[in-house]
Structure 1
Amino acid sequence: MTKRIVFTGGGTAGHVTPNLALIDELKDCDVTYIGSKEGMEKKLVQDHGIDYYAISSGKLRRYFDMKNFKDPFKVLAGVMQAYLILRKIKPDVIFSKGGFVSVPVVIAGWLNRVPVYIHESDITPGLANRIAIRFATKLFVTFEEAGAHLPKDKVVYTGAPIRDALLKGDRRKGLDFLGFQRDKPILLIMGGSLGAKKINEVVRASLTQLVKNYQVVHLCGKGNVDETLASTVGYRQFEYVDKELPDVMAASSMILSRAGSNAIFEFLALRKPMILIPLPLSTSRGDQILNAKAFKKKGLCEVLDNDTLTSEELQRTLTEVYRNRYDYIDRMAAAQGATHGIQNILKFLN
């Protein structure tokens, strides 16, 4: 009998791409995805050729907002919608990567007595997963350190689900796509799927100096392309790169990025020296700060402070990391055991 698996998770690419990585590895399974009506996950999943059901999803906020009074009703509506969808599909298992839309699906799965597995990327769980944990069968974690913050009877250390396609990038194709030469280092700058205002500003303020030492590919986020810089030699900017990303990453010598867990474990798997600029506490719950500290403690990266970052500090750190790049690569090679999570997770899903 064909196994039926429902996936859920959305809001950012970090909640969707690991699901797609797992789906790509599933054999002889009937896969369905439940996500939000307007989230970015809808297009990503449908472009992957997967059946998609949309439900209501309220945002869970830690701050005062008038929407906090009506969003619980959206969550309840989402639970009822997900419950009926699951009754129709009759899945054997549900896998959640988190995000606000996953909460109604996890609760509906529990109500339908379907085994629910959750994956938490960060050292401490986000609000959605904190709510969902009580309804889950098992909670998979990327960081071994996460176990200290979670119910020990539910935690399984799996590592990060790294996309297989990402590991098969072609450096030559990446260079051709970018139009870059082969004998000058490439700096890849990633601000996350929504972009990073501070990183974009400091990079562009430093651009004249940066292109003297590196060829720069800048993934700046939707609506953040600066057309006045389009003719800058040695600088390519994109809102987002999808199919070509494995090749671009293969061609890159060094990466400047936020510190989302999925991304930094991908850099680790690819053994790319990295400089991380975690989201500050003023705009996050501090998860990226903890992620970056954990990698820094193991000698896998350098970390810069978003709020105090200057052009001079950025350039100095880039120079130091590139000069010592082989030391970082050696330490990354020794830490590879943390990056092969797909097979560990599939043992529970297959």
Structure 2
Amino acid sequence: MRVMISGGGTGGGVYPALAVVEALKARQPDTVFLWVGGKRGPERDLVEREGIAFEAVPGGPIAGVGARALISLPRIAAGTLRALGLVRRFRPDVLLMTGGWVTIPATLACWLSGVPVVILMPDLEPGGTIRVLSRVAARVAVVAPESARFFRPGQAIETGYPVRPALLRAAGYDVLGQPLGEAAATRERARKRFGLAEGMLTLLVSGGSTGARSINRALTTSLERILACEGDGPGCQIIHISGRLDQEWVQRRADELPPELAARYHPVAYLHTDDMALALAAADLVVSRAGASTLGEFPLFGLPAILVPYPHAWRYQKTNAEYLVSRRAALRLDDDRLEEDLAPLVCGLLKDGDRRERMAASCRALRRPDAAARVAEVLAGPVQAASTESRGKGT
């Protein structure tokens, strides 16, 4: 099978598609891939690091009017012409796209060329690009059944959120979501990696790869109070992923702590996948934004969460957070209430082990370790249908 993939702009559309790539390789080792993305996004480095061929095409957002639209339309046209050439040369059997305006040229090119289009929607609600391009898609793989209402009847298929293979292995699953019998990431390994104390509750705070300044400020303002929270033992310990932009001043704040508290506060700028897996395995509670990955990664590790949706973007993070809240797997904390409410919420959950365990159980119930394998099956459907139709025309 020859699979063209289009996604990028942020890591949110790249990582789940890479998980599907690994599932496809496990199912069909001779599968060939070509990734079509933007010229300036992070996708090229992420994709080429995995040994996948990458081609960049111009493009632009379809939303907006006036000067913005005048700039975008010629770029989309040029990108579509470039993508048409790539389709002719690569001859894909199917396109997998994950949304964002960088996917417009490849999607239009495949549609015009008669190549089936399958959308993988990482979030619970479609953005503008997916809303428009779903009209030309054969199937849409969605995280939860609630998302089916945005698409025509029978078009959406629930698969779950495809989690990165390294995190699957860390939680004890192979790339197809089958149990391995033993998790690669254990609390003992996490304690050694981060210097954590045994028998003490661990809070993980993360704002994503670039950090979240409002979360960083609220946490550092309340550090002494949160570190002194009595959970199942005296106080707690914190792994804080600050992002590179705030690393310097967060470290200065850490240096101001008394030695007995500083020993329990572990700020880092960024964690690569293996270390992130250890942090997730170590945590008893997490505070984070509500990006798409929370829908897959927190359930995989059964992590109760306090979710802080990013307020300066489209509503998808609020929708993601509300979904986990409605399933009693998380609490939502609005960004403008962080400094007032973060410490009381964290301390309240650290002190209430029964509530944390109920939230963890609810989170685990949403676990879909075989999501990438399910998306791989969805991709195979239109390919098989096209093959059957082709054979029928040949008889």
* Fold match by TM threshold 0.5: yes
Aligned to 1:270: 301
Are the aligned partners of 1:167 and 1:270 in contact in 2 as well (CA < 8 Å)? no
The yes-or-no answer on 1:25 pairing with 2:23 is yes
Amino acid at match of 2:211: G
Amino acid at match of 2:19: A
Q: What does 1:63-212 align with in structure 2 at a 5 Å threshold?
A: 66-169=67-170, 170-171=185-186, 172-212=188-228
Secondary structure of 1:192 counterpart: coil
Aligned to 1:12: 10
Question: 49, 54, 58: which one pairs with 1:52?
Answer: 54
Distance 1:200 1:315, change over 3 A: same
Question: 221, 237, 247: which one pairs with 2:267?
Answer: 237
Q: What does 1:223-302 align with in structure 2 at a 5 Å threshold?
A: 223-225=245-247, 226=249, 227-229=251-253, 231=255, 232-243=262-273, 244-280=275-311, 283-302=312-331
Distance 1:174 1:74, change over 3 A: farther
Are the aligned partners of 2:299 and 2:363 in contact in 1 as well (CA < 8 Å)? yes
Separation (CA, whole Å) in 2 of partners of 1:74 and 1:176: 51
Are the aligned partners of 2:226 and 2:347 in contact in 1 as well (CA < 8 Å)? no
Are the aligned partners of 2:122 and 2:161 in contact in 1 as well (CA < 8 Å)? yes
* Structure 2: gaps (5+ residues): 171-184, 229-234, 256-261, 381-395
- The Cα of 1:66 is off from its aligned counterpart by 4.7
Are the aligned partners of 2:104 and 2:129 in contact in 1 as well (CA < 8 Å)? yes
Question: Over residues 91-112 of structure 1, what are the superposed CA-to-partner deviations in whole Å (9 max), with x where a residue is unaligned?
Answer: 1111111122111111111111
Separation (CA, whole Å) in 1 of partners of 2:317 and 2:76: 26
Separation (CA, whole Å) in 1 of partners of 2:104 and 2:144: 22
Separation (CA, whole Å) in 1 of partners of 2:142 and 2:39: 28
Amino acid at match of 1:275: I
Separation (CA, whole Å) in 1 of partners of 2:49 and 2:285: 30
Distance 1:316 1:42, change over 3 A: same
Distance 1:165 1:178, change over 3 A: same
Secondary structure of 2:245 counterpart: coil
- The Cα of 1:70 is off from its aligned counterpart by 0.8
Amino acid at match of 1:242: H
Aligned to 1:345: 375
- The Cα of 1:214 is off from its aligned counterpart by 2.6
Distance 1:67 1:236, change over 3 A: farther
Separation (CA, whole Å) in 1 of partners of 2:200 and 2:155: 48
Are the aligned partners of 2:210 and 2:245 in contact in 1 as well (CA < 8 Å)? no
Separation (CA, whole Å) in 2 of partners of 1:165 and 1:320: 32
Secondary structure of 1:247 counterpart: helix
The yes-or-no answer on 1:328 pairing with 2:329 is no
- The Cα of 1:230 is off from its aligned counterpart by 5.1
Separation (CA, whole Å) in 2 of partners of 1:291 and 1:68: 29
- The Cα of 1:219 is off from its aligned counterpart by 2.0
Separation (CA, whole Å) in 2 of partners of 1:25 and 1:111: 28
Secondary structure of 2:101 counterpart: coil
Larger radius of gyration: 2
Are the aligned partners of 1:8 and 1:34 in contact in 2 as well (CA < 8 Å)? yes
Give % identity. Answer: 28
Amino acid at match of 1:10: G
Secondary structure of 1:106 counterpart: helix
Secondary structure of 1:176 counterpart: helix
Separation (CA, whole Å) in 1 of partners of 2:72 and 2:189: 46
The yes-or-no answer on 1:219 pairing with 2:241 is yes
Are the aligned partners of 2:24 and 2:373 in contact in 1 as well (CA < 8 Å)? no
Supply the RMSD in Å over aligned alpha carbons: 2.0
- The Cα of 1:303 is off from its aligned counterpart by 0.7
Secondary structure of 2:338 counterpart: coil
Amino acid at match of 2:321: A
- The Cα of 1:264 is off from its aligned counterpart by 3.0
Q: TM-score, normalised by structure 1?
A: 0.91
Separation (CA, whole Å) in 1 of partners of 2:271 and 2:108: 34
Q: TM-score, normalised by structure 2?
A: 0.81
Separation (CA, whole Å) in 2 of partners of 1:200 and 1:91: 45
Secondary structure of 2:105 counterpart: helix
- Count of matched residue pairs: 343
Are the aligned partners of 1:302 and 1:321 in contact in 2 as well (CA < 8 Å)? no
- The Cα of 1:4 is off from its aligned counterpart by 1.0
Question: Over residues 308-336 of structure 1, what are the superposed CA-to-partner deviations in whole Å (9 max), with x where a residue is unaligned?
Answer: 3224x111111233322111122223333
Distance 1:183 1:149, change over 3 A: same
Separation (CA, whole Å) in 2 of partners of 1:104 and 1:4: 18
Aligned to 2:344: 316
Distance 1:68 1:196, change over 3 A: farther
Separation (CA, whole Å) in 1 of partners of 2:66 and 2:244: 25
Separation (CA, whole Å) in 2 of partners of 1:224 and 1:8: 32
